[in-house]
Amino acid sequence: MQQGKDIISKYHTYLRLEKSLSPNTLDAYMTDLDKLLRFVASENRPILEITYQDLQQFVAQLRDIGIHPRSQARIISGIKSFYRFLLLDGYTDKDPTELLETPKIGFKLPEVLTENEINKILDSIDLSLPEGQRNRAMLEVLYSCGLRVSELTGLRYMDVYFDEGFVRVEGKGGKQRLVPISETAIREIKNYLYDRNLVAVKKGHEDILFLSRRGTGLSRIMVFHIIKQQAEMAGIHKNVSPHTFRHSFATHLLEGGANLRAIQEMLGHDNITTTEIYTHINREFLRKEILEHHPRNKKR
């Protein structure tokens, strides 16, 4: 334990003096390294015994919780720097990061679920379980409103305007917006409230809509695990995350003829160019439809 602290302290000195990093860059390196250290602690493994397979698992977790590929690449670069230091100072004679690949950064269409796949996931939820109705209501809101996972976990009971059919969402930078909510989602929330009233709510979480069984708000990672589990149970083999529901929401709106500006407002995008990614999805969808259904493309 003490050895690990000494190594980190020496690495900090190495970055500051030998690499002459600026204070901000130095902080960024140490913050990214801390992510690896917390992973190492959770695995109960000494830092010097970490293997390439361990690092692959760490990177997979970064991807699974929605860390952007550009941020993943930066974190991996910092970890490679740390292991180069360990080699230089003789702490190890092996570099487990040698074969570690950084994610490709470039334009990539987000994974999208069909409406049928969304329904399959929702229908796979076991409503006889204590958390069943909560999960169904939660995923219905996620899809019906196109929320970010942080917006979903922060949603309060007072943010749902049942009669008006809107939810008030606090997005990035504390910016608030009103998003229409479907009648289906409202019905699922009302059904969930019966179960919610049976939970012993912890102080400070009284107004949070979606609660854990411990009476606290759900974490983003918990929502991710719930979605992964339900997608597997539904037999969906795509890489599904909370953001997949948001992408699907926007894509289905566009396919249904919604105005791009309206989608921008509902998603809480500051810049229309962020929303325009969904026009690429729509073109791809149309191309697929033509290839599958146009008489000139049908096999004779």
Residues labelled as active-site residues: 148, 172, 243, 246, 269, 278
- Which residues share a beta bridge with 180? 166
| Contacts made by residues 262-271, CB under 8 angstroms, sequence distance 24+ | 265/177, 266/145, 266/146, 266/177, 266/179, 266/180, 267/146, 268/148, 268/151, 268/169, 268/171, 268/172, 268/175, 268/177
Please report, for residues 40, 43, 200, 214, the alpha-carbon distance to residue 219 in angstroms, rounded to integers and kept in the order given. Answer: 21, 20, 18, 12
Measure the CA–CA gap between 11 and 284, rounded to whole angstroms: 48
Instruction: Identify the residue whose tokens are 């990035």.
Output: 172
Q: Give CA 112 to chain center in angstroms.
A: 14
Q: Is 221 exposed, middle or buried (0-12, 13-18, 19+ CB in 10 A)?
A: middle
